[in-house]
Amino acid sequence: MGLLLKLLTLPVSGPIEGVVWIAKKVAEQADKELYDAEKVQGQLMELELRYDLEEISEEEYLATEQVLLERLRISRERQAAESEK
């Protein structure tokens, strides 16, 4: 019965499942890019350079630095968890 129901609802459920799968893959990729340690370190260096060149204020520098350092911390925690597996 389950197989028959699956076949009968395939025209409706198939595209929905496909969209859900694509959304999950996009979210995974965005998450990887957001918490990529090398990318975050590069952003920190760029931020420091912009601050040194007086392109941004100290307040903006400190706020952005805090966000980037938090991302870096999360990235390192994830890497440690993956290496323990």
Q: Within its chain, how far is the Cα of 57 from the centroid?
A: 27
Look at the block and give the residue holding tokens 């959304």: 23
pLDDT by residue, tens only, the chain of 85 residues: 688 888 788 788 778 888 888 999 999 999 888 889 999 999 999 999 999 999 999 999 999 999 999 999 999 999 898 888 7
**Six-digit token pair at 12?**
């409706």
6, 34 contact by CB (below 8 A): no
Q: Is 54 left (phi over 0), alpha (psi -120 to 50) or beta?
A: left
